[in-house]
A = this chain, B = another copy of it.
Amino acid sequence: MTSIVSRHLFGPGPTNAYPEATEGLARPLLGHLDPAFLAIMDETCEWLRAVWGTAQNRTLPLSATGSAGMEAAFVNTVHPGDVVVVAVNGLFGQRMCEVASRCGAEVVAVQHRWGSPVDPERVVAAHPAPAIVAAVHAETSTGARSDIAALGAAVRDAGDALLLVDAVTSIAGIELLADEWGIDIGYAGTQKCLGVAPGLAPFTISERAFGRRVERPRSWYLDLGLLGGYVGDAGPGPRARTYHHTAPVAMVSSLHAALGRILEEGLDNVWARHAAAGQALQDGLEAMGLELFADAGHRLPELTTVRVPDGVDSADVRRTLLERYDIEIGAGVGEFAASVWRIGLMGPNASPDAVALVLHALGDVLGRPTSG
């Protein structure tokens, strides 16, 4: 019999799951129209509103991974020829350009140096009257955090564009206040700070954006007009469930369990825990003589990027960490594939023991012992 492999998932995601999420995943399956499941779905949507920081009725877990959330965001809101301004400061901003373009957008990409945050002034100056302005809150490819509050204010001052935000790596890890910041369309993933397996895309859309949506989008599966009935929130009027597709019941139950745990701990406490773990990791890496990659003052606590020291083989180190310690960390992305590591401390891994473990193990493999 082969033994079951167990890893410390300290890469850019997936992270290890909260124990509650694993328990939710393994429960007996329910029918997707069972009253017991519908209650779980309702509560999941309600709790998602809490982690999004929104009162938007149309907040739900889409039945696919975070990348499908990006697709849903654009396919439902881009009318042919619409100008979409995309702030690009990493891979996921780049991907937004590609996805928006496939949806028929005229894309205006505002390029930023990788590792830097998005500059609201440059983004807003890029076009006088875009239909949509899009940005990534927490760039998973670089570890940079952008100020969405400032971007939202700038976008509102400049006109009436919709604000579309990727919160895949920020949700339930750092402050996220969708309504206060003016996020009209937001998507996320479950496999980062929510501490759930990958497979769902928490999604939210404002009434304003929903009112401007594409009536019959090219995607049937991600059509928000049809999905309203699926979660029993078809807008004003009596709540009615309509069959759209079979909900991924196990994944939804798992997300439900994790959200319950997160809200019981308290969002402020969860954010503080991620902040503390990230700071301790970044301090420890610098104490080891390593250089952080993302700009100071704009570093995500939940995903730390660090430069691979000269003369060190990035892949070798990652392989040794995996083989010796069952620790996964991530490579860099694009031109930084071999010169940057990405270390994620998300969900249950935002903890002192994870910090201690990864610092010790990395110090050992690099021959730079930590003081701990």
Task: State the A residues within 8 Å of B (CB).
Answer: 4-7, 9, 11, 13-17, 22, 25-32, 34-36, 63-68, 70-71, 75, 95, 98-99, 102-103, 189, 191, 197-199, 216-221, 244-251, 254, 322, 328
Residues of B within 8 A of A28 (CB): 4-7, 16
Write the nearest CB–CB distance from A254 to chain B, whole angstroms.
8
Find the B residue at minimum CB distance from A319.
B35
Q: What separation, in Å, do the CA atoms of A35 and B322 have in the docked complex?
A: 10
Copies in the complex: 2
Find the B residue at minimum CB distance from A67.
B245
Q: What separation, in Å, do the CA atoms of A221 and B68 have in the docked complex?
A: 6
Residues of B within 8 A of A221 (CB): 64, 67-68, 70-71
Q: What separation, in Å, do the CA atoms of A198 and B64 have in the docked complex?
A: 11
Q: Are A249 and B26 in contact (CB under 8 A)?
A: no
Find the B residue at minimum CB distance from A244.
B67
Q: What separation, in Å, do the CA atoms of A11 and B33 have in the docked complex?
A: 10
Residues of B within 8 A of A14 (CB): 29, 31-32, 246, 249
Q: Are A29 and B5 in contact (CB under 8 A)?
A: no
Q: Are A198 and B248 in contact (CB under 8 A)?
A: yes
Q: Are A198 and B328 in contact (CB under 8 A)?
A: no
Q: Are A27 and B4 in contact (CB under 8 A)?
A: yes
Residues of B within 8 A of A219 (CB): 71, 75, 102, 218-219
Decide yes or no: A220 and B99 within 8 Å by CB, A246-B14, A246-B198 being known contacts.
Answer: yes
Residues of B within 8 A of A98 (CB): 220
Mind listing 5 A-B residue pairs with CB under 8 Å?
Answer: A7-B36, A31-B328, A65-B245, A68-B245, A75-B219
Q: Are B5 and A17 in contact (CB under 8 A)?
A: no
Decide yes or no: A248 and B102 within 8 Å by CB, A29-B17, A221-B64 being known contacts.
Answer: no
Write the nearest CB–CB distance from A336 to chain B, whole angstroms.
14
Find the B residue at minimum CB distance from A26.
B26
Q: Are A246 and B67 in contact (CB under 8 A)?
A: yes
The one of B5, B15, B197, B328 that contacts A248, using a Cβ cutoff of 8 Å: B197
The one of B5, B13, B328 that contacts A246, using a Cβ cutoff of 8 Å: B13
Q: What separation, in Å, do the CA atoms of A191 and B244 have in the docked complex?
A: 15
Question: Which residue among A64, A95, A251 has the maximum number of chain B CB atoms within 10 Å of its CB?
Answer: A64
Write the nearest CB–CB distance from A340 to chain B, whole angstroms.
15
Residues of B within 8 A of A254 (CB): 250
7 more CB-based (< 8 A) A-B contacts, given A6-B28, A9-B31: A5-B36, A7-B34, A11-B31, A14-B32, A22-B26, A26-B26, A67-B244
The one of B27, B66, B244 that contacts A245, using a Cβ cutoff of 8 Å: B66
Write the nearest CB–CB distance from A4 to chain B, whole angstroms.
6
Q: Are A34 and B220 in contact (CB under 8 A)?
A: no
Write the nearest CB–CB distance from A164 to chain B, whole angstroms.
15
Residues of B within 8 A of A35 (CB): 322
Residues of B within 8 A of A70 (CB): 221
Write the nearest CB–CB distance from A69 to chain B, whole angstroms.
9
